A and B are shown apart, each in its own frame.
Chain A
Amino acid sequence: GIQVEQSPPDLILQEGANSTLRCNFSDSVNNLQWFHQNPWGQLINLFYIPSGTKQNGRLSATTVATERYSLLYISSSQTTDSGVYFCAVSAGGTSYGKLTFGQGTILTVHP
């Protein structure tokens, strides 16, 4: 099956810093999503981005499908950005294939 690797595994920032999280995948994908799991365990969809670039406030994401990676940018980080960031992908004929998750990046933002 498709392999998903996220880096770095852990990231510690001071409030206001910028960061880049990376997701590498081993095969062509037709679905790629970024999720944030907050300290209370809730998983929130940040981006559906199988290709191209999207922005939502301080967060933006870019997927270069031909090179099999995606990047999540967090600018001017806040303590509420802390948590685990997951990349999830699926391959196959439709965007409703099985999503495979990476191991996540644990982000800690200190005030």
Chain B
Amino acid sequence: NAGVTQTPKFQVLKTGQSMTLQCAQDMNHEYMSWYRQDPGMGLRLIHYSVGAGITDQGEVPNGYNVSRSTTEDFPLRLLSAAPSQTSVYFCASRQYGIQYFGPGTRLTVT
């Protein structure tokens, strides 16, 4: 199993651009989530999904959209990038309570 994979690893955007961060898992986990990690702030939940077709907001959802059309994929869309969205983004999946993280995407918005 590849586990949780994320692409790209690094990305630089200009303010106002949009993009999609990809996340996939091959463990057939129902629960998936997106976090952002900022210095001194720990990890904060952006959006999560408890199964295909079901998504909900986390702690910091503004400026981000998600959808879950399949069990495997959970993309995160930035609608109009802002410098405040510069961060490291982690995707995770969970089964039997145990959470598994992807390697992360480092995003810089200039």
Residue ranges of A at the interface with B (Cβ–Cβ < 8 Å): 1, 31, 33, 35, 41-45, 48, 50, 86, 88, 95-96, 98-104
Q: Spell out B's residues near A (CB within 8 Å).
A: 31, 33, 35, 40-45, 48, 50, 58-59, 88, 90, 94, 96-101, 103-104
B50 cross-chain contacts in A, Cβ below 8 A: 96
Q: Can you give 20 A-B contacts (C-beta < 8 A)?
A: A1-B59, A31-B97, A33-B99, A41-B88, A42-B103, A43-B90, A44-B101, A45-B100, A48-B98, A86-B42, A88-B99, A95-B97, A96-B31, A96-B94, A96-B97, A99-B33, A99-B99, A101-B43, A102-B42, A103-B42
A31-B97, A45-B100, A48-B97 given as contacts; is B45 within 8 A of A99 (CB)? yes
* CA of A100 to CA of B90, assembled, Å: 14
Shortest Cβ gap from A29 to chain B (Å): 11
Q: Add 12 more A-B contacts to A96-B94, A99-B33, A100-B45 (CB < 8 A).
A: A33-B97, A41-B103, A42-B101, A42-B103, A43-B90, A86-B42, A88-B43, A88-B99, A98-B48, A101-B35, A103-B40, A103-B41
Residues of B contacting A96 in the complex (Cβ-Cβ under 8 angstroms): 31, 50, 94, 97
Q: Which residues of A contact B96 (CB under 8 A)?
A: 48, 95
Q: How far is the CB of A57 from chain B (nearest CB, A)?
A: 18
Residues of A with C-beta under 8 A to B42: 86, 101-104
Q: Which residues of A are found within 8 Å of B33, using beta-carbon distances?
A: 99
Using known A-B contacts A41-B88, A41-B104, A96-B50, determine if residue A50 contacts B97 with beta carbons closer than 8 Å.
yes
Shortest Cβ-Cβ A-B pairs, 8 listed: A95-B97, A43-B101, A101-B43, A101-B42, A48-B98, A103-B42, A31-B97, A96-B31
A48 vs B95: C-alpha distance when bound (angstroms): 11
Q: What residues on A are CB-neighbors of B31 within 8 Å?
A: 96
